[in-house]
Amino acid sequence: MESRTAAILTAKDERFLQSFEAAAIPFGEWKHRTHLKVAVLYLRRFPLDMAIARMRDGIKALNAAHGTADAPDRGYHETMTVAWMRLVHFTLGEYGSVGTADQFLDEHPELLSRHMLRFYYSRDRILSWEAKEKFLEPDLAEFPKSRPPPPPKPLPQFPGPVR
């Protein structure tokens, strides 16, 4: 789908991403929206698999810098990371990459609900150690899939040979 306006990468976004990659985002600022902002910025730059790998590495480094222990309710969670990356990727694909990362998130408040994964995963599945360690597909509903692009429109036919 063609975006309505071009994606905008601001100097502030660039510094933010550099802070993430340097594991320098303060613990108190590392919230759900911050995760999503990194996701949007990475998915605008890289294919999904590469964006997921960079997000995974960055979160693990940031958790280490913050001294975040790996426990059932904290630390890196593979299924949650991949699931959110897939949902942001879908939203970017369906609605276009509009404006800055913050503007994109403001236009898509559905992504800002930390509880959205409850539509896809049962409590037992998402909170399992297995889900923390490796990506598990949803057990309640499939993730949305982008529609294929429409077929190209046929060129107008002109009567007779073209000279």
Q: What is the pLDDT along the chain (163 residues), one digit of tens a residue?
A: 344 446 777 888 999 999 999 999 999 999 999 999 999 999 999 999 999 999 999 999 999 999 998 887 889 999 999 999 999 999 999 988 878 999 999 999 999 999 999 999 999 999 999 999 999 999 999 999 876 655 555 655 556 555 5
Query: 38 lies in which domain range?
Result: 11-133
pTM of the model: 0.85
Residues 6+ apart with CB under 8 A from 103: 8
| Cβ–Cβ under 8 Å, residues 23 and 61 | yes
Structural domain includes residue 141: no
What residues does 99 pair with on adjacent strands? Answer: 7
Structural domain includes residue 156: no
Spatial separation of the C-alpha atoms in residues 1 and 134, rounded to whole Å? 31
Structural domain includes residue 160: no
| Cβ–Cβ under 8 Å, residues 146 and 94 | yes
CA nearest to 54, candidates 18, 6, 28? 18
Structural domain includes residue 3: no
Structural domain includes residue 44: yes
CA nearest to 43, candidates 87, 103, 10? 87
Token match 């060129």: residue? 155
Spatial separation of the C-alpha atoms in residues 43 and 36, rounded to whole Å? 10
Structural domain includes residue 23: yes
Structural domain includes residue 27: yes
Please report, for residues 25, 96, 146, the alpha-carbon distance to residue 1 in angstroms, rounded to integers and kept in the order given: 33, 7, 9
Domains in the chain, number: 1
Structural domain includes residue 58: yes
